[in-house]
């Protein structure tokens, strides 16, 4: 390690006094002007991680659905998955180290993680469209170069595209070509092959309005347009030319506020969807003829995909194990529909994509979506091999056709991470193949009315949970109080969990009516306020 170069470059990216940041599920996120030292140091860490695993690592500069003034950075592991948990700790240590301690911390990481500094390092870099992203990605490059690493800067890409490219690179092209053209070609080819198998392709209207949150999704979707067949008519709104990133638009805005984004004119019964700022989340919605807004969130997306995959799996007659993975935030009626009507096993895990992804890997076909619209489908190696074999060798027409559809689904889905572009194409293909309108999809089940609240507390760590965050272990008496409150309402449930990023406790409640869901959420928030050290005035109804 060149101590002189480290000292010189570190001085160019000084750490503001008294600032402490933590690497969480979304990496680091903060106001952009606080991040220069962090991204420089994550350049160092990416080079170390690459040397440790002798593979290419990704680093993405983005703050996803946060306001435009914020930014963030996260690392991508060799198969396009999120950074290994043990390295999240190293990231936090390195980001918060005093300048003069930097070399010592790097040496400690090398010892703990058995990093050979003489190994080569290779890092892929991507960034979103925030005004601060270009300069920050230059700081990443400084960090990589201090440790003698090679890098490839892809410039403006969606987060899922970077995950995809890292995976392609480390599978020696087995997953695809590590270029944007490779990504567009693979997805569009699989999509067109699927649509070809649709019997109603003639009359099925494929008009889709897409709110791109004034983010990078708009640029990449425009680049991809020439790859689509004529009959796919997508219209892009909030393309970043007029308004600010994520301002009154995007998947997060639509989901939280339960209303359409600004900048998109909705006509009755038109199919619309929203990406988030870095295009790794998607939600659908429409307005009915009475002017009511209908949101189709991640739970309903998972349900649609599960129906389609279950039918195909039944046709290929293999003993594949399929399951859906949800978090406690999944609407109770979605869980009921999947388990009781579809007869698909459902597993609940802690909030956070890494927990969902990890659980989904246990099955031949694992479908996971968070209610916020982040999700994908994972196919086991064995299932994928068998499906591709059936396409080539199966004599029975129906079986072979079903296997062919599954093969195209495998190629259309970005298995590395939730991907708004890929998920949108999967949904559009399924709606076309099943001849479903957006209203028919929405009518599969009715969401139970629910309410999300948050309560500010002095220290979020006083709340400890179990059973995939559905029950509170501490403080004493809180869970008993919640149980008693839940008993007052029909079809109700409620849970509380500490935020991963700030001193607030998040509350979720659902019941048979919106009035009851609101009342339950409020009563639970009062219990949290009094038993878990609430700050300020008690919550008002």
Go through the domains of the chain in sequence order and give each one's CATH number. 3-180 (3.40.120.10), 204-296 (3.40.120.10), 298-418 (3.40.120), 450-532 (3.30.310.50)
Give the pLDDT confidence score for residue 199 in this predicted structure. 64
Query: Is 385 annotated to bind ligand?
Result: no
For residue 200, the model assigns a pLDDT of: 56
Provide the pLDDT for residue 203. 47
Is 160 one of the annotated binding-site residues? Answer: no
In this structure, are residues 328 and 469 in contact, taking their beta carbons and an 8 Å threshold?
yes
Angstrom distance (rounded) from CA 32 to CA 133: 8
Tell whether 238 is in a known binding site.
no
122 is an annotated ligand-binding site residue: no
Distance CA 373, CA 486 (A): 27
8 A C-beta contact, residue 228 and residue 292: no
Q: Are strands 375-379 and 365-369 parallel, antiparallel or unpaired?
A: antiparallel
CA atoms of 52 and 538, how far apart (whole Å):
50
**Tens-binned pLDDT, residue by residue, of the chain (541 aa):** 889 999 999 999 999 988 999 998 889 999 999 999 999 999 999 999 999 999 999 999 999 999 999 999 999 999 999 999 999 999 999 999 999 999 999 999 999 999 999 999 999 999 999 999 999 999 999 999 999 999 999 999 999 999 999 999 999 999 999 999 999 999 999 999 998 877 654 545 578 999 999 999 999 999 999 998 777 789 999 999 999 999 999 999 999 888 999 999 999 999 999 999 999 999 999 999 999 999 999 999 999 999 999 999 999 999 999 999 999 999 999 999 999 999 999 999 999 888 999 999 999 999 999 999 999 999 999 999 999 999 999 999 999 999 999 999 999 999 999 999 999 999 999 999 999 999 999 999 999 999 999 999 999 999 999 999 999 999 999 999 999 999 999 999 999 999 876 789 999 999 999 999 999 999 999 999 999 999 999 999 8
Pairing of strands 375-379, 450-456: unpaired
pLDDT of 197: 79
Closest to 377 (Cα-Cα) out of 339, 332, 344, 401 = 344
Give the integer Cα–Cα distance in Å for 345 and 99: 51
Whether residue 276 is annotated as binding a ligand: the answer is: yes
Q: Please, which residues bridge with residue 209 across strands?
A: 235, 272
Q: 289: annotated binding-site residue?
A: no
Q: At what angle do helices 216-224 and 180-196 cross, to 10 degrees?
A: 60
Whether 64 is catalytic is: yes
- Is 137 part of any known ligand binding site? no
Please check if 336 is assigned to a binding site.
Answer: no
pLDDT recorded at residue 101: 94
**What is the per-residue pLDDT for 16?**
92
Q: Which of 10, 30, 50, 64 is catalytic?
A: 64
Give the global pTM: 0.94
């Amino acid at each position: 390690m060149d101590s002189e170069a480290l000292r010189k470059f570190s001085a160019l990216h000084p750490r503001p006094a008294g600032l402490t940041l933590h690497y969480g599920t979304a990496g680091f996120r903060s106001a952009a002007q606080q991040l220069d030292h962090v991204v420089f140091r994550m350049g160092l860490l990416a080079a170390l991680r690459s040397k440790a695993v002798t593979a290419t690592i990704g680093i993405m500069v983005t703050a996803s659905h946060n306001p435009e003034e914020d930014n963030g950075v996260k690392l991508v592991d060799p198969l396009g998955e999120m950074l290994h948990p043990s390295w999240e700790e190293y990231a936090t240590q390195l980001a918060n180290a005093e300048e003069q301690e930097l070399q010592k911390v790097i040496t400690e990481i090398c010892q703990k993680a058995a990093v050979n500094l003489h190994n080569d390092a290779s890092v892929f870099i991507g960034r979103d469209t925030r005004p601060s992203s270009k300069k920050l990605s230059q700081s990443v490059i400084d960090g990589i170069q201090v440790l003698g690493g090679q890098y490839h800067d892809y410039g403006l890409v969606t987060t899922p595209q970077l995950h995809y490219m890292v995976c392609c690179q480390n599978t020696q092209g087995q997953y695809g070509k590590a270029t944007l053209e490779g990504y567009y070609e693979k997805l569009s080819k699989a999509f067109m092959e699927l649509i070809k198998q649709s019997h109603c392709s003639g009359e099925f209207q494929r008009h889709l309005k897409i709110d791109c949150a004034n983010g990078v999704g708009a640029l990449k979707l425009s680049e991809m347009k020439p790859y689509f067949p004529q009959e796919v008519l997508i219209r892009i709104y909030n393309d970043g030319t007029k308004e600010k990133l994520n301002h009154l638009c995007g998947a997060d805005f639509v989901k939280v506020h339960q209303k359409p984004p600004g900048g998109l004119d909705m006509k009755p019964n038109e199919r619309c969807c929203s990406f988030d700022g870095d295009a790794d989340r998607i939600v659908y919605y429409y307005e009915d003829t009475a002017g009511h807004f209908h949101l189709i969130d991640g739970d309903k997306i998972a349900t649609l995909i599960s129906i389609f995959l279950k039918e195909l799996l039944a046709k290929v007659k293999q003993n594949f194990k399929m399951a859906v993975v949800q978090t406690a935030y999944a609407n109770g009626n979605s869980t009921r529909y999947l388990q009781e009507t579809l007869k698909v096993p459902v597993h609940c895990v802690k909030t956070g994509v890494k927990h969902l992804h990890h659980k989904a890997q246990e099955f031949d076909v694992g479908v996971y979506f968070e209610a916020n619209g982040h999700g994908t489908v994972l196919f086991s190696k064995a299932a994928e091999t068998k499906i591709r074999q059936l396409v080539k060798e199966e004599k029975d027409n129906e079986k072979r056709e079903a296997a062919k559809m599954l093969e195209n689904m495998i190629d259309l889905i970005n298995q590395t991470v939730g991907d708004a572009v890929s998920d949108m194409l999967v949904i559009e293909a399924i709606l076309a193949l099943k001849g479903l309108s957006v209203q028919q999809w929405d009518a599969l089940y009715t969401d139970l009315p629910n309410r999300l609240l948050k309560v500010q507390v002095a220290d979020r760590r006083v709340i400890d949970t179990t059973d995939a965050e559905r029950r509170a272990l501490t403080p004493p008496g809180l869970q008993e109080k919640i149980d008693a409150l839940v008993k007052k309402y029909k079809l109700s449930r409620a849970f509380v969990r500490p935020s991963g990023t700030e001193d607030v406790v998040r509350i979720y409640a659902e019941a048979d009516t919106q009035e009851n869901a609101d009342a339950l959420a409020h009563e639970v928030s009062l219990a949290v306020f009094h038993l878990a050290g609430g700050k300020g005035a008690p919550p008002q109804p």
